[in-house]
Amino acid sequence: MNSGPKVPDLRTFLEDYEERNPADVVRITRPIKSRYETTVIAAQLEQMRRTPVLIFENVVNDDGRPFKYPLLSFLCASRERMAYAVGADPKHLASFCAERKQRRIKPQVVSREAAPVKEVVKKGDEVDLLEFPVPVFHSKEPGPYITAGFITCYQREGGTDNSSIQRGWISGRNEIRFWLAPGTHNYNILREHEENGEDMPMAIWIGHHPAVIAGMNFGNEYGRSHYETAGGFIGQPLSLVPSETLGESFLVPSHAEIVIEGVHKCGLRKPEGPFGEFPRTLGEQRFNPVMEVTAVTHRRNPYWYGLVCGHVHWLTALLREAEAFERVGKSVAGLANVYAPMSGCGQLTLYLQIHKRSEGEGKAALLPALGIRQVKHAFVFDDDVNIFDETEVLWAMATRVQADKDVLIVTNCLGTALDPSSLGMGYLTKMGIDCTRPLPRSKFAEFLSIPRAVIESTPVSNYISQEKLEKVPVDPFCASISSRKEDPEAGDVTCIGCGCAFPVNSEFTRLAKSYVHCPRCGKEFSIFGKSL
Ligand SMILES: Cc1cc2nc3c(=O)[nH]c(=O)nc-3n(C[C@H](O)[C@H](O)[C@H](O)COP(=O)(O)O)c2cc1C
C-alpha cells in the first residue's frame, strides 16, 4: 500500500499521490454549482478518458452561495490509481484483491483526542447536512445524494460491525433516506432490529484512504467484520473511535473526513429516488428506510467525497474480479486473470483468461463466474488474448466461437434488479460464451506472424518520417489486434516424423516450395502436417 506517512487516510494519500503524480490531481477553483455541473465536468473528462482526482474548491448552491468545504470526486475513477493505492499491478488486481481479502487485521481504538474526525462535533440542532457541498448528480434525482458513504451498522446479536457503500438522499437538515438492497448485510441487520421492534443505530462515514475504501468495500460472509478486512488491505489495524451519540461500543473510523450518526426508527419508510444507478440508467423510486441524524463530526475543512454514480469507478469491478478469481480458481487450475470492464459497468460482464489444459475447461470456468449474482455475461478466453483490449476480445469472439457449442444460456436466474433489461425484477437470463480454441492448440489455425527479426529491423520510422506520419489522418474505424501477445508456437511447424518443432523461415517462401524439410530427421511434409 502506498500511503506516505504512517496513518493511512485520505490526506496522507493525496499528499503522497499529488507529489508523485502532480498532473493527475486537478484543483478547480472557479465557482461551480453542486447541481449537475460537477457531474458535467466529470462526464466530459470521462469521455476524454481522463480520470484525475478532482478537487472542487469553490462549490456553490443553486443561488450561487458558496459552500464552506471542498468537494472531492473521481478518487476511485482510475484503475491505475486504485492499483497504486493498494500497491498492486493494475492488470492483476483480481488475484491481488482475492489474496488481500483473506488477510484480516483487527482494528484498534484510539482516544477522541487522537481522532481527527472529532475536530468538529455538532449535535442535535447544530446538525445541518445542507452545509456540505453534496452534488445533485442527474436530472430527476430529488436532491443531494451521499454516494461514497459507508453505512456502518452493528449486528443485533454478537455485535459484529458491517460497513458498505449504500447511497442516501439528504432530504433535510437532519434526515437521510437510504436504500439497502435486499440480501445486503446491512439490510439483514435492519430486518433483525425491526423484527424485534427496535430502532437501529447507524453511522455514515465519508472520505478515507482509497485502500481503506477498497478493503472496506469487500463483502464478507455475514458476521465477519469489514473493519478487519480493511485492516488487511492497509496491512495495519484500522483506527476507530467511539461515537458521540450511539454509545461507546459503536465505533467509527477515527481518520475519516466526516461521520454522520443517527437512528433508523423501526418500521419507518418514506419515498426515496429516483437515482442515477450504476448501469447508467435512472433507477426507480421506492419506499425506503430513513435515518434521523443525531450528530455530525468532522475534520476541520473536511473533504466531501462525491462518487459520480453511473460513471467510471473501479470499486465494484475489484469486488467482482476478486470474487470470480476465488470461485473460478477452485474449478480451473489454469485461471490466469479476470477483468470486469467498464463496458459492463464494472460488474455485469466478466472476461476470464485461462491456460486451457483440458477440453471443457472453458465452460467449467463460466459456471462459477455466472454464479455470482451481479454477473450477467461471462466470457472465457485463452491466455494469448489480451482481455484488457476489447477489440481483441471481440476478435477472439468472432474467430473462436461456434454458437451451437460454445454459448451457455441460463434462464430465470436471480441477478441484479438494477439491470434495466430485467424490468426491475432482477429475474433475468445469464449467458456465458466459451471463446477458447479447441485442444490441441497446434491443430487450430495459427495467428499470422512474421519473423521477429524482420519486425525489429523494419520500424515504420525508417520509411516514413515522423513529420509525415503525424499528418496522416487517424482512421476512427481502424482496429488493430496486432499488439496481441505472440503465440509461442506461431511460425513453428511440428515435424510429423520426429515430432520436433522448428521455425519456418524465409527460405520456405523464397524458394516457393510446397513442402518443408525437418532439419532434425530429414522428413519432408506439407506445411499443414500432411505426408507428401
Ligand atoms: C458506488 C456504490 C454505490 C452503491 N449503492 C448501493 C445502495 O444504494 N444500496 C445497496 O444496497 N448497495 C449499494 N452498493 C452495493 C453495496 O455496497 C454492495 O452490495 C456491498 O457488497 C454490500 O456488502 P455487504 O452485504 O457485505 O454489507 C453500492 C456500491 C457502490 C460501489
Specify the residue for cell string 434495466. Answer: 420
- What's the 10 CA to ligand 1 centre distance in angstroms? 21
By the 8 A CB rule, do 137 and 122 touch? no
All three cell numbers of 71: 468537494
Per-block mean pLDDT, blocks of 10 residues, the chain (532 long):
71 98 98 98 97 98 97 98 97 97 96 98 97 98 98 96 98 98 95 98 98 92 93 96 98 98 98 96 96 98 97 97 97 97 98 97 98 97 95 96 98 91 84 96 85 89 96 92 61 82 68 77 81 70
The Cα–Cα gap between 72 and 206 comes to: 11
Please state the atom number of ligand 1 nearest to the C-alpha of residue 222: 26
Q: Rounded to the nearest whole angstrom, what is the distance from the C-alpha of residue 356 to the centroid of ligand 1?
A: 34
The reply to whether domains 10-305 and 318-441 share a CATH topology is no
CA 399, CA 102: separation in Å to the nearest integer? 38
Residue boundaries of the structural domains of the chain: 10-305, 318-441
Helix (H) or strand (E) holding 271: strand 270-272
Cα dist from 425 to 300, 345, 417, 422, whole Å: 44, 19, 5, 6
Instruction: For residue 339, report the distance from its CA to the centre of ligand 1, in Å.
Output: 20
**Is 501:492 a contact under the CB 8 Å cutoff?**
yes
pLDDT at residue 525 in the model: 84
Position 5 scores a pLDDT of: 47
Which helix (H) or strand (E) is 143 found in, with range?
none
Interatomic CA distance for residues 140 and 229, integer angstroms: 36
Architecture of domain 318-441: 3-Layer(aba) Sandwich (3.40)
Q: Which atom of ligand 1 is nearest to the CA of 220?
A: 26
296, containing H or E segment: strand 290-298
Number of H helices, E strands in the chain: 14, 31
Indicate which atom in ligand 1 lies nearest the CA of residue 178: 8
Give the pLDDT confidence score for residue 477 in this predicted structure.
92
Task: Please tell me whether the overall predicted TM-score, pTM, comes out greater than 0.75 for this model.
Answer: yes
Q: What is the pLDDT of residue 202?
A: 98
Place of cell 524465409: 506
Pocket of ligand 1 (CB under 6 A): 147, 162, 164-167, 179-181, 184-186, 219-220, 307, 309, 315-316
**Ligand 1: distance of its center to the CA of 496 in Å?**
57
Dist. CA 21–CA 14, nearest whole Å: 10
For 10-305, give the CATH class: mainly beta
CA-374 nearest atom, ligand 1: 19
Residue 165 Cα to ligand 1 midpoint, Å, equals 5
